[in-house]
Structure 1
Amino acid sequence: MIDLISLPFSFPFMRDAALIGLMISVPAGLLSCFLVLRGWSLMGDAVSHAILPGVVIAYVLNLPLIIGAFVAGLGSALLAGWLQENSRVKRDTVLGVVMSGMFGLGVVLYTAIPSDLHLDHILFGNMLGIGPEDLRLAAMISGVVGLLIVLKWRDLALASFDPVQARVSGLALRWLDYGLLAMISATVVAMLSSVGIILSVALLIAPGAIAFLVTRRLSAMLGLAVSIAAFSTVSGVWASFWLDSAPAPTVVLVLISLFALAFLWRNYTVRRLGRA
């Protein structure tokens, strides 16, 4: 039994995959709560898709890929916000247009510009091929984003639950929104080498959604979301070894399974209380 649990992590590349999963679980779990509470789930999806052209352009300009990814992700989020404020189009429509447009631009640039970039690694991650630089970047981003959320979670909570009261209290809501968008972009960049662009949205939404079904206290929701993200990444990496599958999609399947269990448990609890 012990060998069954420990054998996958006896290999250095499996330990590194689990380690980077634990690192990105902190900002992903914390941010997912506020994305769910604000109804910003599509924002995480939009940012994750929009970084592709930034990666390609950074490669052409011989710049660090993370810089291009961060600028493209944050820029697309700000563009979506500006379009929403200056048009009659709703947020989900604007995000869909920006997301698809940026992702399409990235694919066109990738196919038009000769490069040795591996699109499948960018899209779906490469958890088993990460290096020391990826671990350092993930640790740095996770530490900064996690610290900022811990310091500002009460302000973010007030802005999420009661924007009017937050504005009356003197909170700079616009800067809080910009800061949240910047943290989302930075977290997606940290996920680029692990779960990739496409699957990062699962880690930015599912932990918060699961925690929202299980608890109604924000402080408990934040801690539970981080725990769920950490458990899912480690168990997904472990299961991928025995299933001979890619780690990132396996992590997402674990998250979806936990969401299904939380959903069923919540419905059962509500029905049971209704009969009592």
Structure 2
Amino acid sequence: MIEQLLLPLQFGFMQNALLIAVIVSVPTALLSCFLVLKGWALMGDAVSHAVLPGVVIAHILGAPLILGAFLAGMVTALVTGFLADNSRVKRDTVMGVVFSGMFGLGIVLFTAIPTDLHLDHILFGNMLGVGAQDLQTAFWIALPVSALLVLRWKDLMLHAFDPAQARVAGLPVGLMHYGLLTILSLTIVATLTATGLILAVGLLIAPGAIAFLLVRSFGWMLVVSVLVCMGAMLAGCYASFFLDSAPAPTIVLILTAIFVLAFLRRSLQQRRAA
């Protein structure tokens, strides 16, 4: 029985999948708290979809795919901010138009230009095909991103909750705004191999939303989100081995189930308090 349970750990591809799950769970979980608090959930969705043309163009030019993904993500974020600030259209509408346009451009480029890229790997990830280079890339992105979010969480929380008060307090609001956008793009690049573009949004929203339902302190929200995200990613990878399913969607299903349970728990507490 024990040998059967430990069977996944005997394979190198499963070891790499579990390792990258641990690496990417920390920055995505931490960032998700700020996205939920700031109401930027759609921004995470927009950037994750919009990096596709950057990936395809980088492949055509022979440049690193992560560079193309990062630049495309930043262009999307900056264009969205410019259009929202200089038009009567609301930000969420602008994001919907921009990210769908970028995603459509990526699909057109992918189908029009012959490449050896696997679209399903880009969209849905390939955790079981993670190599040493992917692990190193994810680690060296996740480390500074996580460190910055942990060290400056109080300033970023104030900026997310009340930008006007943050400006009065002397914080560089503009720098923090575009800094968060840069961190968002980098984090999506780090998760590119693990979860792909589409399912990355689950990691950027669900952990923070779950923690928001479970705790009242933002400090504990950061801790709980990391524990939930890491636990769900490890459980999803492990379960996918026995279910013969893809790890990324399995992880997202587990996060969704946890969110439903957290919501039911919160609703029950509110009814008892009433």
- TM-score, normalised on structure 2? 0.98
Q: Secondary structure at the match of 2:89?
A: coil
Answering whether residue 69 of structure 2 is matched by residue 33 of structure 1, we say: no
Q: Which moved more, 1:259-268 or 1:150-159?
A: 150-159
Amino acid at match of 1:15: Q
Distance in 1 of aligned mates of 2:202 and 2:113? 30
Distance in 1 of aligned mates of 2:43 and 2:186? 13
Amino acid at match of 1:227: L
Hey, what does 2:244 align to over in structure 1?
244
CA offset at residue 151 of structure 1? 1.8
Hey, what does 2:97 align to over in structure 1?
97
CA offset at residue 15 of structure 1? 1.1
Hey, what does 2:211 align to over in structure 1?
211
Distance in 2 of aligned mates of 1:154 and 1:36? 15
Q: Deviations over 1:27-55 (max 9, x none)?
A: 00000000000000000000000000000
Q: Deviations over 1:70-98 (max 9, x none)?
A: 00011101110111000111111011001
Distance in 1 of aligned mates of 2:174 and 2:88? 19
Distance in 2 of aligned mates of 1:58 and 1:10? 35
Distance in 2 of aligned mates of 1:105 and 1:120? 17
Hey, what does 1:120 align to over in structure 2?
120
CA offset at residue 4 of structure 1? 4.4
Amino acid at match of 1:198: I
Hey, what does 1:85 align to over in structure 2?
85
CA offset at residue 5 of structure 1? 3.4
Distance in 1 of aligned mates of 2:179 and 2:17? 28
Hey, what does 1:273 align to over in structure 2?
273
Paired residues for 1:34-183 under 5 Å: 34-183=34-183
Distance in 2 of aligned mates of 1:4 and 1:213? 36
CA offset at residue 218 of structure 1? 0.5
Q: Which moved more, 1:216-225 or 1:9-18?
A: 9-18
Hey, what does 1:189 align to over in structure 2?
189
Q: Deviations over 1:159-184 (max 9, x none)?
A: 11222211101111111010101111
Q: CA RMSD in A?
A: 0.8
Unaligned runs of 5+ in 1: none
Hey, what does 2:226 align to over in structure 1?
226
Amino acid at match of 1:40: W
CA offset at residue 2 of structure 1? 3.0
Distance in 2 of aligned mates of 1:3 and 1:29? 32
Q: Secondary structure at the match of 1:242?
A: helix
Distance in 2 of aligned mates of 1:273 and 1:173? 38
Distance in 2 of aligned mates of 1:25 and 1:138? 10
Distance in 2 of aligned mates of 1:115 and 1:144? 33
Amino acid at match of 2:235: S
Distance in 1 of aligned mates of 2:52 and 2:161? 33
Distance in 2 of aligned mates of 1:214 and 1:182? 28
CA offset at residue 3 of structure 1? 3.2
Q: Deviations over 1:170-199 (max 9, x none)?
A: 111111010101111011111111110010
Distance in 1 of aligned mates of 2:72 and 2:195? 18
Distance in 2 of aligned mates of 1:138 and 1:111? 28
Q: Deviations over 1:192-231 (max 9, x none)?
A: 1111001000000000000000001000000110111100
